[in-house]
Structure formats: structure tokens, C-alpha cells
Structure 1
Amino acid sequence: HSGATDLPTVLRRIPGVEVMQTTGADINVSARGDNQLFVNKMLVMVDGRSIYVDTQGIVFWKPIPVTLPEIKRIEVLIGPASVLYGFNAFDGIINIITKSPEEIKGTTLQFGGGEFGTIAASAIQAGSFDKFGYRLSVGHDQNNQWRNRDALAFRDNKFNLHTEYALSATSKVFVSGGLVDSNKSDGPVVDPTLSSARPALGYAHIGYERSNFFIRAFWTEYTDSFDIRTPLLLNLLSFTDKAGNPISSFNANTYDLETQHTVELPATNRLTYGVNYRHNTVSANFLSQFGREDRLGLYVQDEWKATQSLTVVAGVRYDLDTFIHPTTSPRGAVLYRFHPDHTLRASISVAFRPPTMLETFFDSRTNTNPPLPPSTLSVAGSRNLSAEEIVSYEIGYQGWFLRHRLRGRGDLFFNHITNLVGPFPVSPISSTFVNNGTGSADIYGGEAGVEFLATHSISGFANFSYQEISQTFSGQVQRAGPRFKANAGLRGEWDNGLNGEVALFHVGAATYPISSTFAAFAPLGVVPPDPRVGSYNLLNLRAGYRFWHEKGEVAVSVFNALNDMHKEHPLGDTIGSRVMGWLTLKF
């Protein structure tokens, strides 16, 4: 337990991952300089089930459908991964793996509370009877705004149930489902607007798994109701649907079926192949029509062990989608293990992000408010959009030292990004979503880091990231991010029950694209935000004590212990420090 109240705070320690918080509820996560408001290029899953909302292209990081004590580990793959994971694995994938009923057996109660009205509470009951296992959890989270510590920024309640039955030592069937209901969410921020949303996400997940095969199906429903405001523009603009309604209501459903099989061929080959079908629907008053989308993906990947030290991986995926031409996503990699503890890797991969149904069917009105004369601008989606594309080249190294007490890793990358989607004015009174077909971005750089075990009680990490962005994109689709980032941390856990963690994150300055509307309204008193945000240092601390035969723990955590007041985006809140206390009981 890190003392974090959300997963992006934990993900900051991973080199190459970009985390940008704008409000107490809105957090964007991407990779390698590809960050933006309303970020839409990182595939996020819980136990292999996507929680990326296809119809809007967003991940809601605060109301994730799992309580923090249930999480066993987080797997992160930086770089395009479309071959096995399909659309939206553009920047990479984040897979949240939960604990099995046996691993969290019994009752777990956790309560955290602190400044800014922050509460993080959860209760988990898990157990097993012969071959049957179950895990039941409920949770409540809330916190106030950074800009107004007395105003609520986020609140949710969540419920999850997971059941599984072991058919053999290597196979099982499972059924799970749950609901997250957020009756307050301050965001998302989309230049130049701020929404006040109430997202609710329900799901059901069923599957059969064995060591070399799985078949899974899931359903996810997303409902929301929000209004869109422009406080930074002194509310001189308002947003409505075509009928003049300022409240936006969404209902979206995703139905997914996937099967995958891995075959160990004679001698040196490991072949993986699979098929994935997905059906999306969306209904919203800010869309021109009820939307339906079908996707079908076919993929195959072969891992060939050419020699004892050389492995070649090659794969390809073919995707069909209702709204775009078929796409082909190849990937190739060579791994050279020149020593049992040292490996070099080189890879090339291609990935796509298809246009969302929000970008396809969007239909809204932007209205001027007094003292401006009345006028209306229409913003429309388009069915003529193409998929966004990334081509990525990467070389890397991983090695173990000091009898496997220290692991070092380093990567160099070059990403070429084209066809980004964004709104573009087509007349004085209308805009539409288009591909920025003449623009492109080349993002290149590298990461290096170590993880180490100093003693049997103390472990740590340190890493560094550097990137450069060269682009011809214009407007709000421009890529942006800090050139330098550095992270370091230590974690200790002693036999006397004491434990603690210290983590320091340095994020360099960055300049982000800002809507031209700010400059246009400057004569009316609107203050255009500075597009540059300065560098900042984020120090997070935690100290705890385990008691009652390690079944109980009290802890205190401090977020931003240096109180380095900073913005992570020009339109975001100024983020300060927060102190919390924690109590965890297991029985």
C-alpha cells in the first residue's frame, strides 16, 4: 500500500508514463509525450477486461471498478500493442490484476481520511469452498476540489462480486460483475470547457481459462449526465444540444467476445492466435443519431526461438470496423540474450485508434452570452474520419546484477504519429471533426532506470526519462509534454511492524496548446492562461505500523509533502499537499 488514493499516483513512478491531473477528479494518463486533455490513446484493463470507454475514448481513473486493497499488481506495457490487444492500445496498455479469492481470503476493512474532505473506504469479504471461490467488495471514495477545499470534487460508491470455480489445477470458469456510481465528478477538462459529470459504470464478465486457452465475454454500460461550463471564459459561452438543452445525457453499451489459443509447436515455436468481436452502442442528445458500431479483429503471433540466445517475434492483426477502412497492425521484435542475465531487444510496431462515435456523430451548439451579441456555432462529427496511426521503433536492454539484487533497464524510442482527429472550423458558424492529414509528430527519446533490493527490508527504484517532440500539427491536436522527468523512491518493511515509503517525482516544464478563444475574448476581460507550466517536485511519504499479528495496520500518508504548489496543465487546478490517516484490519 502506497498511501495513494488513485492509481495514476502510483503510475507516476514508471519511466515513460505521463500523468497529468487537472482537477480533483480528472486525471489523464498516457505515454512518451502523447498526453493531452481528454486523453484517449492508452488501453486500460481490469483482469483483461477493457475499462476504456470506446464510445467516448476516455478512461475514468477515479471511479475504477475495483477497490485498492483488491489489486495484486499492475502490468504496464509502454508502446503500441495492437497485435494482441487491438484498437486503442496506441500508447500502450495498463492491466490491473486483482487478487484471487484465496489470496485475499477473509475480511479486509480499510478506511482512509484526511484533508480536502478525502475519504477512501472499502470492505472486502473473500473465501473458498472446495473448488469454488468468491470475492465481494464495496467501496466509497470522495474528495474536495483543489481550487476550493470546501466544494466537493468527486464522490462514488462501488460494488463488485467475483466468483470462480476450479475445473482442474490449470483451468477455471469465472463470473463477475459490479457497478460504480459517481454522483459527482469535477471534470473532465476539455479546452476551453469544464464539465460537471456523474458517470456510472456497470459491468458483467464471464469466461473460461486454462494455461494455453481462454474465451471471455463482457458487457459494460456507461451512463452520464453533465453540463458544460466555461468559467475561464467568464461564462461568455454556453453549450447546448440542437434543441437548446444544456444538460448532456449519455448511455453507452459495449458487448465483447474474445478467444485466444496458444500452441507450443515442435522444438522452437510458440504460436498464439485469436479472434475478438465487439459491438458498441450509444445514445445521447449531443449526438445526431443513435450510434451502432461493430468491430472484428483477427490476430496471430509467432515466437521463434532461433538459437539459445536469439528469439524472433512476429505478429499481425487485421481489424474491421463499421466506420473506417480495414486496418493491419504488424509487429516484429528480436531479442538477443547474450548472457543469462542480460538481454537486448529491438522492435517495430504499428497501432491505430479508430474515431469514436462521439467524434463521428457529435452535434452541439456553442452560444454566446451577454454582453456579446447572440450567435451560434455548430460543431458536428464526421463519418469520413480515418483511424489515427502510430509507427514505433524501439531498442532496449535489461540486465540483472549483484546476484539478482539489482535490475537495470534502458530504452530508446522513435514514434511517428499521423491522422490525429480534432475539431476544425469549416465556416464562420460551423466546425467539424477532421483528421489533421497534413500534420505529423515525431516523438523520440529514452528511459533508463534501476530497481534494487538494498537489504532484506529495504528496496528502491530510480529512473529518468527524456523526450523531444518535432511536429507539424497545429491547434489543439499538438503533442506536448515535459522534456525531462526523474523518479526515485525507497520502501522499507521491518520485522517489528514498522514500514514506510518515500517517493520523489521531478517533472520538467512543458508548453501545451491552448484554444484561440482565450485570446479572442481578451478584450472582454478574459485572461488567457499561460500555455507554459513550470517544473515541479512531488514528494509523497507514507509511514505505517502493523500490529495484531500483522492483521492490523495504522498509517499516515502525505501527498506533495514539499507543498510544491503547481499546475500540471494550464487549464488545471493548482495542486497542493494533502495529509491522510489510514486504518486497515484483516480477520
Structure 2
Amino acid sequence: MNLLHYTSSAAFLLAGSITLSSPLVYAKQTVENESYNEFLDMDISQLMQVTITSVSKKPEALANAAAAVFVIRHEDIQRSGVTTIQDALRLAPGVQVARIGSDKWAVSTRGFNGRYANKLLVLMDGRTLYSPAFSGVYWEMQGTLLEDIDRIEVIRGPGATLWGANAVNGVINIITKKAEDTHGGLVRVGGGTEEEAQLGLRYGRAIGENVHARAYFTYDQRDSFELARDGSDAHDDWDSSRGGFRVDGGSEKKTAWTVQGDLYENSINQSFSPYFLPSFPYITELREEFEATGWNIMAKMNRKFANDSTLSAQIYYDFAKREESFLMQEQGTFDAEIQYQKKLGNRNDITTGVGYRLVDAEFTNSFQASILPAETEDITYSGFIQDAISVIADTLIFTLGTKWENNDYTGTEFQPSARILWKATKDTSVWAAVSRAVKVPSQFESNGSVVVRVAPDMPPNPAVITLVGNTEYDSEEVISYETGYRCFPNDTFSLDLALFYNDYDKLLDSAPNPLNPYESVFSNSINGNSYGAEVAITWKPLDWTKFDLAYSYINFDMDSSLLLPSGQENVYEGSAPQHSISLFSQLSLTAKLEMNVWLRYVDNLPVSSPSAATRGIEIDDYVDVDISINYQATNNLKLSLVGQNLLNSSNSEFISESFTAETEVERGVYLKALWSF
């Protein structure tokens, strides 16, 4: 880790200094003046032709994707008034987003939600964001300047054939704008009741012929929420600061390259309740402030050849550190990938690639939680190939592919898929897919241990009840069957429907250890299925208004093969709302004034987590609304008033599977000014 750490640190600082100190070669300056009315001027057919890259790892129109994909656009993020990426994801059908506290979220697609949800692959410009410790995302450690996000591509269903293990139920790729599109300066300031302080700075310019750069900085301070038991302070207030840069060069018609990086620091207050001790009083509530820091640097290259082929390469290093008492974690990830795309005649479009990943981790264990050995090194080799076969030109396309991976936990894994797309008319398409995906064991599932209870009166006094990892723990599997229908019959309406049936095997459970009555061991003891439907409708009845409706339905049927089931199968069935609805209305009232109303309904959660099951707590269904009013005061100044969760003074959305008391999300209001120059 040391060599990679210091080498990458030097590269990060060098690239950043080049960005900020290079002389101005181009006199061209572009003043950023985002007009959301121009966005509403686009008809539905134009919106459906937006280019996406996450489904096939190559550019294609949204309307032609043989997958359940939804795009959250830059304009949607800005108009909605959200202050985090995770809250923006509530716009997409099939995505479950629940706030556990001020500093914690549960995010998943098609179920299995939780603080440590691990069946969703999340990327930022192609760089994975998950923690190798548990194969999920610490959402409070992720982010960027929201004004720099071009779009978020949300794929529901397996994406493992191209993206690899852990892309079991979906892939989310957060794609930022090119540096060329962010010339000039931008200042964002704001504050309110829950979002106490917001600051965003960005400056971009040309620094050479066909070379563009930008640098940004953000700071956010958020208030704590309240405990459900008595309305007292939840002690989960936090602040975060982040900076970064991006440099783009070359030509998209020949060779284009990108170097980008980020540096961040979070100061987080949190409470562990209950928190167990090896001696009297054995159980307590731990309140602490800890630091979560990290940085990353990435380089990409894309080369187009005259023979209708493309070669691309990507390499990055990501370092993250969490200094919390529960379990201190320090992880470095080195990842490299090469991809080649070639069209063979008029029928075949082949994409293939190879990859290498090294994860180097160190842990400082506590009585409460541990991972042994305390220093680990995991290596994954991978390769994939996919062929899009044009059976009938521009009408019927059959796509077949597979991903091969070799990891240190389960060895070789194959993850194939087959997809078919039929373009019945120029504005109507039908697709179907069958895929296999796996979730490989994480460091914690294989070698971890967590204390779940200390019983002072049980022999040997006290008795320490633990849940421990299993070096024989196998990959979790899913075979997914999907079909969809997509149409935009006119310039004012579009419909996107997806149906799915997932067959799961060897899901995570815990079984009693016959050699130790005080231990439970991770096991692959649960199987079952889920099925559901997702609908996205866009309606633009007038030039000055647009409505986006997203509806999701999901149902689970899970069984445990254990003689004495742990109850985890009930958690899988009850951790995602059966019904959820989002209605996002965008209204341009005048040339300078716009109002956006976002209404949401989320069904109840019978058992959101093992912690909730133990306490017998059910999360009630709820209806809430956000309203944002934006006023273009001048060509360069936009003022916003945003109200969040306005229908409820406070309500619970989720109870974590970790040691966190039930916390209620509070109503919030904030003001924001956005100045561009």
C-alpha cells in the first residue's frame, strides 16, 4: 500500500497543480447560465435519444437499450432541490432510498436494502465506490459538486456480464460533465434548518489546444436528526469537505484522454446503541466524533481507429480511511482495465476487455468488531466478451456475452447474459433478457466477527454472543429473467415498463456453530425468488410543464434451509417497500420563475433489518413532498427556496442493521444562491 499511496499522492498533487497554474492559451470563455426552460423546450423524442454508456459499455441511445435503464438528468437534479446523490436516486423507479439518520442512508435496487446493502454496484465515471470490507457503499463518504453531474444512469437488474461481481440487482453510474462544458466560474452558497451550510466553488477554462480543465471545492454542514423514542438529539450531525479536478484533452474523433481526482474529509458524529463492553457495565451507548477521509486519482484514454474500432483504457487508485471506534478501516484499491470494441461487417459489434484489481486493507479491531488477519490483500483478474448481433438491421438485435472473474474467495466465476431487442417501430421497442450474477464474499463475511450481545448472567460470566465469518462462505447467486416495453408515440408522452423475476440461491444467513453455543456463523442457507414491475412515464402536456411518474412493485418469497431459521428470510422479504410512487412536476411559471413539486409515497417496511426484527419495530408507510422555487434574478444569478419532507415534521424511513437507534428524518427548509461568471 505504501508505494501506491505515495506514488498516487504525488501524481494527484502534480495534476492538480497543472490544472490550477497552467497559462491561459485559449481566450474563449463560456459563462455558465443554465436555462431549465430550454430543457423543458425539448420534446420527449429528444429526451429518449439521450446517449448512455452503462448498459453496453459503449454509447447508445436510451430508447435502444435492452435493459431496464433510467436516466436522472442534470436538470432533474438541479430542479429537484436535492443536496445529495443518494436523494436524487429517489427519482428512479426500482430504486429504494431510505435515510437512516442525518449521516446514514440505505440504498438498493429491487430489494435487499440496508445500511450495508451489497447487491448494487455504484460507480463514479466508471470508478467503483463500494467498500471491500462489506461490498457496499458508505454513502456519506461519496459525492461531488452536484452542478458538475451530467447524468446518473440507473440500471435495474444484473449488470455483471460487463461490470462483474456485485452488480447483482443493478448498476448506478454517476457521470460528470466534461471539463469543456464547465468553463468559467460558479459559486453556490446556501443554508437552512437541516442543511445548515452549503458552499460550492468551481472554476474551469481551456489550458491548451484541445485541453480543458476545472477544479472544484464543496463544503456542507448538516444538523442532527431526532430519536424516535423521545424526540431527543440523535447526535448524528456532520460536515464534509471535498475538492477535486478534471482535465480532458485530445479529440473524440481520434484520441481523447482524461485525468481526474478527488480529495475529501468528513467529520461525523454518531451513536452506537447498544455498544457492548468486555467488563462492567457490559452495555452502554457510545457517542463519538470520527473522521472519514480519502482520495482518488484516475486516468482514462479512448482511441478510435479508421477500421471502425475503438480501444480504451482506464486506471485508478482509490484510498479510504474510517477512524471509528467500532472498526477502523484503511483500504487502497488499484484497478486497471483495457477494452476493445470492433464492428465486424454489418452484423456483429464485439466488445471485449480484461481487468485487474488489487485491494490492500488494514483494520484496527475492537471488542465490538474485528476482521482477521488485520492486514489483507485481495486480487481479482477478469475478462469479458459481448457480441451485439444485428439479426435484422436496426430492427432485431441479439446480444450475447459473459464475464469471467477469478477472486481470492471463491475462485472462478462466470456471469453470462443474453438479451434481445426488437424495434417494432421507430418509437416502440420490446426487449427481454436472462442473466446470471453473483455476489462474492466480502472481507467481513469471510473473516469478520461482531459481538451481537453480552449476557452478564450467563456462564462463563459474562457470555459473549458473536456472529463470525466463514472462510467456506460461497458466492450468492441470482438468475434473472426480465422483459420490457418502451414507447414514445408522440412528442409529449413516453412509457417505459419493465417486468422481472429473480431466482436467488445461497443467500446470506447465519447458522448456530455446533462447536460453540455462543457463536453463529455466516452460511448460504436462504433461497427464494422475487418478482415485480417498474413503470416510468413522462408527460409534457404544455411547453412550460413536465411530469415524471415512477412506480415500483416488488414481492419476495424467501425460505431458509436451516432447521432453526435465524429470521433473515423475513428481513429480505420486509426490507423493501412493496409499492412506491414518485411524481415529479416541473413548472416554468414565467421566463424567470419556476416551481417544482415532488410527491412521494413509500409503502411500509414490515421488517427493515435484524435490529428492527429484534425490537419488533415496523416502519409505517408515508407520503411526503418537496417543493423548490427557483428565480433567475439576473443572467448570472439564480435564487432558490427549497422545502424538504414538508408533510411530516419527522418520520422514520429505515432502521439500520447495525447498532443504531431508530432515528426520524426531520422537515427542512433552505435558501440557495447560484452565481456563475
TM-score with structure 1 setting the length: 0.89
SS at match of 1:510: coil
Partners of 2:592 and 2:435 lie apart in 1 by 47
Asked whether the equivalents of residues 235 and 271 of structure 2 are also in contact (C-alpha less than 8 Å), the reply is: no
**Which residue, 324, 327, 349 being the options, matches 2:435?**
349
Asked whether the equivalents of residues 13 and 505 of structure 1 are also in contact (C-alpha less than 8 Å), the reply is: no
Matches of residues 119-518 of structure 1 in structure 2 within 5 Å? 119-129=197-207, 130-147=209-226, 148=232, 151-167=235-251, 169-184=253-268, 186=270, 198-210=291-303, 212-228=310-326, 248-285=327-364, 286-289=370-373, 290-308=375-393, 309-365=395-451, 368=454, 374-402=462-490, 404-426=491-513, 427-436=516-525, 439-473=526-560, 474-476=566-568, 478-479=571-572, 480=574, 481-493=576-588, 496-512=591-607, 514-515=609-610
Tell me which amino acid in the other structure corresponds to 1:388.
Answer: E
Asked whether the equivalents of residues 248 and 256 of structure 2 are also in contact (C-alpha less than 8 Å), the reply is: yes
Partners of 2:292 and 2:655 lie apart in 1 by 25
Partners of 2:589 and 2:311 lie apart in 1 by 41
Structure 1's consecutive aligned runs of 4 or more residues displaced over 6 angstroms after TM superposition are 187-195, 369-372
Cα distance per residue 1:331-381 (max 9 Å; x no partner): 111111111110011111111111111222214556637788523234432
SS at match of 2:140: coil
Cα distance per residue 1:430-476 (max 9 Å; x no partner): 2332222xx21211011123112233322121122111111104523
Partners of 2:113 and 2:404 lie apart in 1 by 27
Cα distance per residue 1:391-427 (max 9 Å; x no partner): 110110000122x321101111101122223444313
SS at match of 1:355: coil
Asked whether the equivalents of residues 99 and 105 of structure 2 are also in contact (C-alpha less than 8 Å), the reply is: yes
SS at match of 1:359: helix
1:25 corresponds to: 103
Asked whether the equivalents of residues 418 and 435 of structure 2 are also in contact (C-alpha less than 8 Å), the reply is: yes
TM-aligned CA distance change 1:294 to 1:345, over 3 Å: same
1:100 corresponds to: 178
Partners of 2:287 and 2:133 lie apart in 1 by 18
TM-aligned CA distance change 1:533 to 1:420, over 3 Å: same
How many corresponding residue pairs? 555
Q: CA deviation at 1:294?
A: 0.7
Q: CA deviation at 1:15?
A: 1.0
Asked whether the equivalents of residues 108 and 123 of structure 1 are also in contact (C-alpha less than 8 Å), the reply is: yes
Q: CA deviation at 1:5?
A: 1.4
Cα distance per residue 1:302-327 (max 9 Å; x no partner): 11110142111111111100111311
SS at match of 1:446: strand
Tell me which amino acid in the other structure corresponds to 1:511.
Answer: P
Q: CA deviation at 1:517?
A: 10
Tell me which amino acid in the other structure corresponds to 2:639.
Answer: V
Cα distance per residue 1:198-222 (max 9 Å; x no partner): 3222111012123532100011111
2:18 corresponds to: none
Which has the larger displacement, 439-448 or 60-69? Answer: 60-69
TM-aligned CA distance change 1:511 to 1:392, over 3 Å: same
**Which residue, 113, 130, 134 being the options, matches 1:52?**
130
TM-aligned CA distance change 1:421 to 1:191, over 3 Å: farther
Asked whether the equivalents of residues 195 and 226 of structure 1 are also in contact (C-alpha less than 8 Å), the reply is: no
Q: CA deviation at 1:182?
A: 0.9
TM-aligned CA distance change 1:533 to 1:43, over 3 Å: same
Partners of 1:334 and 1:55 lie apart in 2 by 36
TM-aligned CA distance change 1:310 to 1:442, over 3 Å: same
Tell me which amino acid in the other structure corresponds to 2:673.
Answer: L
TM-aligned CA distance change 1:518 to 1:318, over 3 Å: closer
Tell me which amino acid in the other structure corresponds to 2:126.
Answer: G
Higher relative contact order (CA 8 A, sep 6+): 2
Asked whether the equivalents of residues 94 and 552 of structure 2 are also in contact (C-alpha less than 8 Å), the reply is: yes
2:67 corresponds to: none
Q: CA deviation at 1:117?
A: 5.4
Are 2:619 and 1:533 aligned?
yes
Structure 1 stretches lacking a partner, 5+ long: 229-247, 520-527
SS at match of 1:10: helix
Tell me which amino acid in the other structure corresponds to 1:456.
Answer: D
SS at match of 2:372: coil
Matches of residues 561-572 of structure 1 in structure 2 within 5 Å? 561-563=646-648, 565-570=650-655, 572=662
Tell me which amino acid in the other structure corresponds to 2:300.
Answer: G
Asked whether the equivalents of residues 76 and 93 of structure 1 are also in contact (C-alpha less than 8 Å), the reply is: yes
Q: CA deviation at 1:122?
A: 1.0
Structure 2 stretches lacking a partner, 5+ long: 1-77, 227-231, 277-284, 305-309, 365-369, 561-565, 657-661
Partners of 1:464 and 1:168 lie apart in 2 by 38
Asked whether the equivalents of residues 537 and 564 of structure 1 are also in contact (C-alpha less than 8 Å), the reply is: no
Asked whether the equivalents of residues 344 and 350 of structure 2 are also in contact (C-alpha less than 8 Å), the reply is: yes
Q: CA deviation at 1:68?
A: 1.2
TM-aligned CA distance change 1:189 to 1:560, over 3 Å: farther
Cα distance per residue 1:475-519 (max 9 Å; x no partner): 236313211111111112356211221111111112116548986
TM-aligned CA distance change 1:22 to 1:142, over 3 Å: same
Asked whether the equivalents of residues 38 and 189 of structure 1 are also in contact (C-alpha less than 8 Å), the reply is: no
Asked whether the equivalents of residues 558 and 578 of structure 1 are also in contact (C-alpha less than 8 Å), the reply is: yes
Q: CA deviation at 1:3?
A: 1.1
Considering only aligned residues, what root-mean-square deviation do their CA atoms show, in Å? Answer: 2.5
Q: CA deviation at 1:127?
A: 1.1
Are 2:182 and 1:90 aligned?
no
Partners of 2:336 and 2:223 lie apart in 1 by 39
Higher-helix-fraction structure:
2
Partners of 1:177 and 1:586 lie apart in 2 by 23
TM-score with structure 2 setting the length: 0.78
Asked whether the equivalents of residues 196 and 223 of structure 2 are also in contact (C-alpha less than 8 Å), the reply is: yes
Partners of 2:86 and 2:473 lie apart in 1 by 31
TM-aligned CA distance change 1:562 to 1:365, over 3 Å: closer
Are 2:665 and 1:575 aligned?
yes
Partners of 2:582 and 2:182 lie apart in 1 by 31
